[in-house]
Amino acid sequence: MSKQKIVLFLTVFIDLISFGVVIPFLPTYVEKMTGSPIMPGLTVAVFSVAQFFFNPIWGAMSDRFGRRPIIIGSLSVSILGYALFTFATNLPILWISRFLSGVGAGNISAAQAYISDITTPKDRARTMGMIGAAFGLGFVIGPLVGGLLMSQFGFMSVGIFCSALCLLNLLLAFFMLPESLDMQAEREFRKINIFPLKSFLQTLRIPNLNITFWAGFAFTAAFFFFQINSPLVWEQRYKLSESDLALVFTAIGISSFVVQGILLRFTSRYFTEKQQILTGFILLGIGILLVPFAPREYFWIYTVFCIVLVATGNGIVNPNLTTLVSKNVDMKSQGLVLGLYQSFGALARILGPVIGSLFYSIWWLLPFFAAAFVYFINALWFGRYKAGLEQI
């Protein structure tokens, strides 16, 4: 593995530890703060609102000015967001801190564009899988650390820890991550208009990208039906503690790391991206459908089995969808279109938690049934995808 890939892996890994520290306890923390079943979904959505508006701008700017300054700049915003999170003892401050953290999350689309710069189309899925493995490993360590900090030192310790991690990440990128765009290409890229609306509409008119974007939207929204409500089910119906919830999310992270860091290297050699994505949707549908029916006496064995199905499906679908987006775009627009794709995913992360919370307030099983239905329909929808290069 090259030095660039190692540093990029560490950058994403450290960033996802910060994200993973917060996720397990945030829904239950907000519900206890507000007493509302809707507010956890709205709070999670704030992060994604910021991503929706800023990811295309970060991506377009990375095409014009290079990947490195965008990664460094977005990490600086993340430090500010998590520092404010330290003092988020009421809902307005919590929402502002999550919004800033969402703005700072633009380094993910820049990292994906960086991967596109330094890999061939043939090797891209495996390398995108490496970024996915960093996600998974971050979710292994993040929830464990979050559960420990929350139970032993309280809420403020989480914000301090995440701010320190983001500072470490910024220093790592500043001193060790070289620019992936050469200067000649960089001058050409500066002609690109960073205003995303026209490119957004243009992208959605391209058949392959249209299918991939909508499939990615449904994939992400349905996953948040599961992610936002499963901690509530596990806490309220199975009496899991914050440490127990951290262990469940750790199981998700371990499974994702194994799939994207190891399994994907083999599946990408023998199966097309489309075949892998269809398989992943089916695994996700089955796994999420089974989650809420765990027998109490066999809760951990049953739940880990379901989590492995869900994490395997997620680990297969996510990097392969990103790879297909990258393959259907020419090199001069990688950052912009990957940013648009991340923005479309952010829109799903806005609507998914809100709709999922609404479903949960109607009937606690509804979000799980709805997510499974979406994944099975998504498998049928994605069957329309036909391989080919369409440039924007």
CATH of the domain at 346: 1.20.1250.20
Helix (H, G, I), strand (E, B) or coil at 88: coil
> How many structural domains are present in the chain?
1
Helix (H, G, I), strand (E, B) or coil at 14: helix
Higher pLDDT, residue 227 or 134: 227
Residue 219: give the domain boundaries. Answer: 3-174+202-382
- Smallest CA-to-CA distance from 150 within 27, 18, 17, 29 is with 29
Q: How far apart are CA 132 and CA 381, in angstroms?
A: 24
| Cα–Cα distances in angstroms (integers) from residue 171 to residues 71, 73, 107, 164, in the given order | 11, 12, 14, 11
Q: Does some domain include residue 292? A: yes
Is the pLDDT at 194 greater than 70? The verdict is no
Q: Does some domain include residue 365? A: yes
Q: What long-range pairs does 164-170 form, CB within 8 A, spacing at least 24?
A: 165/14, 165/17, 165/18, 166/14, 166/15, 166/18, 166/75, 166/78, 166/79, 166/82, 166/104, 167/79, 168/14, 169/11, 169/14, 169/15, 169/18, 169/75, 169/78, 170/72, 170/75, 170/76, 170/79
Predicted confidence band of residue 96 (pLDDT cuts 50, 70, 90): very high
Q: How far apart are CA 392 and CA 194, in angstroms?
A: 14
Burial of 388 (0-12, 13-18, 19+ CB in 10 A): exposed
Q: Classify 270 in phi/psi space as left (phi over 0), alpha (psi -120 to 50) or beta.
A: alpha
- Smallest CA-to-CA distance from 207 within 362, 92, 293, 328 is with 328
Is the pLDDT at 29 greater than 90? The verdict is no
Q: Does some domain include residue 190? A: no
Region 248-263 average pLDDT? 76
pLDDT at 284: 95
Q: Would you tell me the crossing angle of helices 207-238 and 196-204 to the nearest 10 degrees?
A: 100
pLDDT at 376: 93
Both structure tokens of 166: 């983001």
Q: Does some domain include residue 188? A: no
pLDDT in tens, 44-72: 778 878 877 887 788 778 877 888 888 89
Q: How far apart are CA 357 and CA 365, in angstroms?
A: 11
Q: Does some domain include residue 148? A: yes
pLDDT in tens, 97-145: 999 988 888 777 777 778 778 777 667 666 776 776 776 677 678 777 8
- Smallest CA-to-CA distance from 77 within 166, 145, 199, 179 is with 166
Distance of CA 170 to the CA centre of its chain: 20
Q: Does some domain include residue 195? A: no
pLDDT at 391: 45
Q: Does some domain include residue 185? A: no
- Smallest CA-to-CA distance from 172 within 10, 58, 19, 17 is with 10
What does DSSP assign to residue 106?
A: T
Q: Is the pTM of this model over 0.75?
A: no
| Cα–Cα distances in angstroms (integers) from residue 246 to residues 38, 70, 235, 313, in the given order | 22, 32, 12, 21
Higher pLDDT, residue 374 or 44: 374
pLDDT at 136: 67
Q: Does some domain include residue 389? A: no
